[in-house]
Amino acid sequence: MHLFKNSLVLLISALSLASIPAQSHVVLQDGAAAANSSYRATFRVGHGCDAESTTGIRVTIPAGFNGAQPMPKSGWTARTVIGTLPVPYESHGKKYTEGVLEISWTANSAENALPHAYYDEFVLRGTTPAKPGPLWFKVVQSCAKGSNDWVEVPASGTSTKGLKMPAALLEVLDVQAAGGHAH
């Protein structure tokens, strides 16, 4: 029971830490998740590149985040890039050496682009690694003109202080999830 309480405190503090930069950059709505569990990654995009509209979001799936699937988005085309996984994994007794390395959404037309003054969310899901620790999702935000590369990762730890273009952070916690893996 003690351990469980500590995990909850950790989870809550990780969540509140993650909510600080929510107004800006590209960040995950839920900054913490249990290890080896299904996780819905909601990327919040709060502004464009300077004043330019956002026309594309491309997410690099971090090693160990398996079975990633994009959620389709009206007015946008979702794509996956499949390739050899840095770390193979097993699911339902089957070994996977290939998987989704990248997920992107591209606006179907200029009218579908996300205006700088507006806000939107891009969703994918997958299974978190069994090993707890920080997981960084590198995101490239393409705009009508230019792009924002949210790809900076601290040398150690999880603080993004001092980073101009931090990647989106998910803290994988050493807690047991209520549900099983994704189907």
138 belongs to the binding site for Cu ion (CB under 5 A): no
- State the residue number with the nearest CB to Cu ion: 24
Minimum distance of Cu ion from residue 113's CB (angstroms): 18
Nearer to Cu ion, 143 or 175 (CB): 143
Tell me the DSSP string of 36-73.
TSEEEEEEEE---BTTBPEEEEEEEPPTT-EEEEEPP-
Q: Is the distance from CB of 181 to CB of 36 less than 8 angstroms? A: yes
Nearer to Cu ion, 25 or 58 (CB): 25
The CA distances from residue 97 to 88, 94, 166, in Å, are 5, 10, 29
Minimum distance of Cu ion from residue 50's CB (angstroms): 11
Minimum distance of Cu ion from residue 22's CB (angstroms): 10
162 three-class SS: coil
- Count residues contacting Cu ion (CB under 5 A)? 2
Per the structure block, which two tokens stand in for 20?
């600080």
Binding mask 17-46 for Cu ion (x = CB under 5 A): -------xx---------------------
Cα–Cα distance measured from residue 69 to residue 130, given in angstroms and rounded to the nearest whole number = 19
Residues lying near Cu ion in the complex (CB under 5 A): 24-25
